[in-house]
Chains A and B, each alone.
Chain A
């Protein structure tokens, strides 16, 4: 009886964590956007405003953001577990279904976030200076 309760508690804790996790990839997208703007201002005002420096460092920031999103996406894909279960939509309301559904949602959000980061990064390649 106690064991069952513990397992439930453990499961619940894990669920509330993965509920958080589905917001991580879009949050990285948002933070990447803000950091790009802030970094351009900083390079222009404090570090001489060399376009090459700006371009390379911005692309490095983008690469880090994309790597983090890719890692989150991979974890979410494993949580979704579609390859083993063959269950795309997880329509049952059981704990396992909820768990896999959250993985599915987080995986799709990671894809959207990656696209967002790539589109935000494209103008950075042609950035020419501070004016």
Chain B
């Protein structure tokens, strides 16, 4: 193998691995290019077609330009020159862009098509999400996480407390703004079970980037079981550390802001914590949900989420933080 051939092979290999890396960046649980729902499929198709058409248009226009200025730069009749400019420079883009616009509009998903029954209300807060599942027995209140049944179109009713947010689950569909004092609607259908990530998509203050949530698309039976469990009040603390944690929760006044249904803690300012131990993340997608994440979050809220209303409890000794974490993690 000659040096030159080897070089070109290495170049090809490097190029191919770069392309693979780029493609790998398209997958993941928060990627509009890795759709897991009906609307996201349509949007991904639209993106692919638009990018391809843009590339074709770019190549044709610049190819024509390159041909007449570099490859074959000869005199041409005024008629031919005008034809090339009008045909290649005006008519071709006009028709192509017009066709793309018409096609794009025709397949654009209807963000407000009727759902299959389940209605989830989500209210944007700075910087977390108030969530309520509407059921015949009344609302089931949760926060910072959304669970939905696979294969069912779910209606989201959105609004906001103080500033404009935007509700976006890239794997499932397009985004929808949330306005204070005004209701917006979005309907989404997940086609594949899995855990996805949603993100606030409208700048809403210092910790906008930390305003996220986990979305779990579950099989319908599992979802029904989960919703029944979520509707139930919190169970009593199980074991010594948890009981101590509950006392600290009461002593520190946590219940003034947080509700834990089935207890005397009835605060409405912050997220509902009735079943916080069963969630996949803490602090609206800020941390994971391991035991140590709970104590880290409680002690360092303002470092983790600048501007957040919850004060840091870093004055508490580590064993009290651990006990608090045990109590909250036990709220399954």
Q: Chain A interface (Cβ within 8 Å of chain B)?
A: 115, 118-119, 122-123, 125-126, 128-129, 131
10 additional contacts, CB 8 Å, given A115-B94, A122-B101? A118-B98, A119-B97, A119-B98, A122-B102, A123-B105, A125-B105, A126-B105, A126-B106, A128-B112, A129-B112
Interface check B185, CB cutoff 8 A = yes
Q: For chain B, residues 158 to 216, give those with C-beta under 8 angstroms from any C-beta of chain A.
A: 184-185
Task: Give the chain B neighbours of A125 by CB distance below 8 A.
Answer: 105
A131-B106 in contact (CB<8A): no
Contact of B184 among A115, A119, A131 (CB under 8 A): A131
Give chain A nearest CB distance to B109 CB in angstroms: 12
Main secondary structure of the interface of B (DSSP, over half): helix
* Chain A residue nearest in CB terms to B184: A131
A119-B101 in contact (CB<8A): yes
B98-A128 in contact (CB<8A): no
Main secondary structure of the interface of A (DSSP, over half): helix
* Chain A residue nearest in CB terms to B112: A131
Give chain A nearest CB distance to B41 CB in angstroms: 19
A131-B105 in contact (CB<8A): no
* Chain A residue nearest in CB terms to B101: A122
Give chain A nearest CB distance to B85 CB in angstroms: 12
Q: Chain B interface (Cβ within 8 Å of chain A)?
A: 94, 97-98, 101-102, 105-106, 108, 110, 112, 184-185
Give chain A nearest CB distance to B151 CB in angstroms: 25
Give chain B nearest CB distance to A54 CB in angstroms: 15
B105-A128 in contact (CB<8A): no
Question: What would 20 A/B residue contacts be, using CB atoms closer than 8 Å?
Answer: A115-B94, A118-B98, A119-B97, A119-B98, A119-B101, A122-B98, A122-B101, A122-B102, A122-B105, A123-B105, A125-B105, A126-B105, A126-B106, A126-B108, A128-B110, A128-B112, A129-B112, A131-B112, A131-B184, A131-B185
CA of A122 to CA of B97 in the docked complex: distance in angstroms? 12
Give chain A nearest CB distance to B103 CB in angstroms: 11
Task: Give the chain B neighbours of A118 by CB distance below 8 A.
Answer: 98
Give chain B nearest CB distance to A107 CB in angstroms: 13
CA of A57 to CA of B112 in the docked complex: distance in angstroms? 23
CA of A119 to CA of B106 in the docked complex: distance in angstroms? 14
Task: Give the chain A neighbours of B105 by CB distance below 8 A.
Answer: 122-123, 125-126
Task: Give the chain A neighbours of B112 by CB distance below 8 A.
Answer: 128-129, 131
Task: Give the chain B neighbours of A129 by CB distance below 8 A.
Answer: 112
* Chain A residue nearest in CB terms to B111: A131
Task: Give the chain A neighbours of B184 by CB distance below 8 A.
Answer: 131
Task: Give the chain B neighbours of A122 by CB distance below 8 A.
Answer: 98, 101-102, 105
Q: Which 9 A-B pairs have the closest CB atoms?
A: A126-B105, A131-B112, A122-B101, A123-B105, A131-B185, A122-B105, A122-B102, A119-B101, A115-B94
Task: Give the chain B neighbours of A123 by CB distance below 8 A.
Answer: 105
CA of A125 to CA of B102 in the docked complex: distance in angstroms? 10
* Chain A residue nearest in CB terms to B97: A119
Task: Give the chain A neighbours of B110 by CB distance below 8 A.
Answer: 128
Give chain B nearest CB distance to A45 CB in angstroms: 13
CA of A125 to CA of B185 in the docked complex: distance in angstroms? 21
CA of A128 to CA of B114 in the docked complex: distance in angstroms? 13
Task: Give the chain B neighbours of A119 by CB distance below 8 A.
Answer: 97-98, 101
Give chain B nearest CB distance to A128 CB in angstroms: 7
Task: Give the chain A neighbours of B102 by CB distance below 8 A.
Answer: 122
Give chain A nearest CB distance to B115 CB in angstroms: 14
* Chain A residue nearest in CB terms to B185: A131
